[in-house]
């Protein structure tokens, strides 16, 4: 039994060596048609590494020939299937630039966006690839507005923008928790300008009431009145925009204190 396995292993090794030797000869061959047939066969068998090597050595020869278009697209597809997404995106973009009227141009441009979608990192990490992905999908939508893939591209853009919004809001919330009062105010105001319909608006208004109150408490006397009043202004906005908000009841003790403080400031000024 062991002897049979040993002989089988030897046969497999010999076949592998023969295959490698044949492949090396093919790479060095000047028969480009044979190389192309082999490359396509390797691609169909999902042997993307060997297919890529052959496509690479044939690029120059077929660049101005009809086969060049197929080679350029399949090169990008190989990298995509190997999950080398940054490289794949570059090849897809190059393909569209070189063959803008190709039947595969639409798919190539869409997949360039998919490449960056797949490497877009989790919210806590740097979002450079996320911004790049949105740009790629927007370029695709602009170039192929009638494509059936536009709806999918738009949905993915919405998902990415939500992630970016969540990341920005986490920064605002961090300033608030650290009681970095001015930084929290500035970041909240900028966030609301950038995202006027944000799902966080109600929570932000509530946090700004608390932030201005705490800011006033730790301010010099000459600044307190203005900051208490700004806290009340945010509270009134919350009540107007979200009359049924659960935050209103939670803020009532803080608002009562703010009004007491303002009344004392007013009395002190009239003395």
**Does residue 131 lie in a domain region?**
no
Range of the domain at 240: 178-271
Q: Averaged over 189-194, what is the pLDDT?
A: 96
> Is residue 83 scored above 50 in pLDDT?
yes
Task: Give the residue from 208, 241, 240 showing the smallest Cα distance to 227.
Answer: 208
Identify whether 108 is part of a domain.
no
**147 within 8 A of 113, measured Cβ to Cβ:** no
Q: How confident is the model at residue 15 (pLDDT cuts 50, 70, 90)?
A: very low
pLDDT at 131: 97
What is the arithmetic mean of pLDDT over 152-181? 97
Cα torsion 217, 219, 221, 222: sign: negative
In which band, very low, low, confident or very high, does the pLDDT at 122 lie, cut at 50, 70 and 90?
A: very high
Residue 149: pLDDT band (50, 70, 90) is very high
**pLDDT recorded at residue 2:** 47
For 149, phi and psi rounded to 5 degrees?
A: -85, -5
pLDDT of residue 135: 97
Tell me whether residue 63 is in a domain.
no
What average pLDDT is seen over the chain?
91
Query: Helices marked H in 178-200 — which ranges?
Result: 181-194
What are the CA-CA distances from residue 178 to residues 171, 181, 182, 211, 231 (Å)? Answer: 11, 8, 11, 11, 18
Which CATH number belongs to the domain containing residue 266 in this structure? 1.25.40.10
| Segment 212-223, tens digit of pLDDT | 999 999 999 999
In a domain, 88, yes or no: no
More reliable by pLDDT, 59 or 225 = 225
pLDDT at 134: 98
Is 89 among the domain residues? no
Say if residue 151's pLDDT is above 80: yes
How many domains would you assign to the chain?
1
The CA-CA-CA angle for residues 106, 79, 46, to 5°, reads 105
For residues 54-70, average pLDDT: 90
Tell me whether residue 72 is in a domain: no
Q: Is residue 81 part of a domain?
A: no
CA distance 61 to 192: 56
Helix, strand, coil percentages in the chain from 3-state DSSP, rounded to 5: 80, 0, 20
**Can you tell me the distance from the alpha carbon of 209 to that of 239, in angstroms, rounded to the nearest whole number?**
12
Within-domain flag for 189: yes
What predicted TM-score, i.e. pTM, was given to this entire model?
0.82
């Amino acid at each position: 039994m062991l002897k049979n396995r040993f002989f089988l292993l030897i046969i497999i090794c010999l076949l592998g060596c023969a295959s490698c030797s044949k492949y090396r000869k093919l790479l060095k061959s000047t028969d480009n048609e044979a190389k192309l047939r082999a490359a396509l066969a390797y691609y169909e068998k999902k042997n993307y590494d060997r297919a890529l090597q052959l496509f690479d050595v044939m690029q120059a020869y077929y660049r101005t020939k009809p086969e060049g278009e197929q080679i350029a697209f399949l090169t990008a597809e190989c990298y995509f299937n190997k999950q080398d997404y940054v490289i794949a995106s570059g090849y897809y973009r190059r393909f569209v630039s070189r063959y803008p009227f190709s039947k595969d141009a639409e798919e190539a441009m869409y997949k360039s966006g998919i490449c960056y979608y797949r490497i877009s990192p989790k919210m806590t990490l740097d979002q450079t690839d996320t911004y790049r992905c949105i740009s790629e999908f927007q370029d695709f939508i602009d170039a192929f507005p009638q494509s059936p893939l536009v709806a999918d591209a738009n949905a993915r853009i919405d998902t990415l923008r939500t992630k970016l919004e969540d990341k920005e809001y986490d920064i605002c919330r961090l300033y608030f928790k650290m009681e970095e009062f001015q930084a929290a105010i500035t970041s909240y105001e900028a966030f609301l300008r950038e995202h006027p319909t944000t799902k966080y608006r109600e929570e932000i208004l509530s946090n700004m009431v608390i932030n201005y109150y705490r800011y006033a408490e730790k301010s010099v006397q000459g600044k307190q009145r203005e900051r208490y009043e700004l806290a009340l202004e945010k509270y009134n906005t919350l009540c107007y925009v979200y009359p049924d908000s659960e935050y209103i009841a939670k803020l009532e003790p803080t608002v009562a204190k703010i009004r007491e403080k303002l009344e004392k400031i007013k009395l002190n000024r009239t003395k």
